[in-house]
A and B are shown apart, each in its own frame.
Chain A
C-alpha cells in the first residue's frame, strides 16, 4: 500500500480485502471453523468478565 489513494479508493480496497477474507474463512475445513467458533466463545467470555480499569 505504498501509493497514495483517495479515501474512497482506500475504503474500496479495505472492503474488497474483507470480502476476500470472508470467502477464505468460509472455505476453511469444518474442524477449523469449529475451532474458530470456540476461540470466539472464549474471547467473548473474557470480554464479559473484564472489569473497567478505572
Chain B
C-alpha cells in the first residue's frame, strides 16, 4: 500500500522529473491531462499525473525502460506503464503529434514548492482534450469553463485550434454545450 503523499513529497515528484530531464532520459516535459485542468480549476478525481515529454531517440522507436530503471533504483515501483513516485501515480507519455509537441514547447513555467516544473497552458490543455474528444475530455473542458480561476483566452485558444484544424470541432462543441 503506498504511503500517503504530503506537500513535501509532491515537491519530490517534480524534483525526480527534473532529474530525468537533467540526466537526458527525457527531453523537455510538461504536465498535461487532467492535472493541467486541475491546475487552473477546481480539483476533481482522476488517475495518473500525466507527464508529456520529448524523448531522445535516433529514429521512430523510443524506450521507456531507462526511465523506469532510474526510478526503480530510487525505490519506486512501476506497474502497467504507471510509476508510483512518492505515492503519486505518474505516467510519462511521449509527445505523439504536433499539438502535444507545441503544448510542451509553449508550456507555462511553474514552481511546486522549490521545484520548477512546466504545465500546459489552459488553452493547450483544452485543445489536447478536444483532439482526444472522449466524453471525459469534453467534461474536463466544461469543468474548466465553469470553475477556472481565470477565463480561457479565446483568441489564443482559437489560434491553436485553427493551426491544428480543430476550429470546427470547437464550434460544434460550443453549440452543443451552450447553456
Partner-B contacts on A (CB < 8 A): 22-23, 25-28, 30-38, 40-42, 44
> How far is A23 from B42 in the complex, measured between Cα atoms in Å?
7
CB distance from B34 to the nearest CB of A (A): 8
CB distance from A43 to the nearest CB of B (A): 9
Of A22, A30, A41, which is within 8 A of B110 by CB?
A30
- Say whether chain A's binding surface is mostly helix, strand, loop, or mixed: helix
Whether the Cβ atoms of B112 and A44 lie closer than 8 Å is no
Interface size on B, residues (CB 8 A): 28
On chain B, the residues within 8 Å of A34 by CB distance are 5, 10, 35, 38, 49, 88
Task: Give the A-B pair count, Cβ closer than 8 A.
Answer: 59
Whether the Cβ atoms of B10 and A40 lie closer than 8 Å is no
> How far is A26 from B146 in the complex, measured between Cα atoms in Å?
10
Whether the Cβ atoms of B38 and A37 lie closer than 8 Å is yes
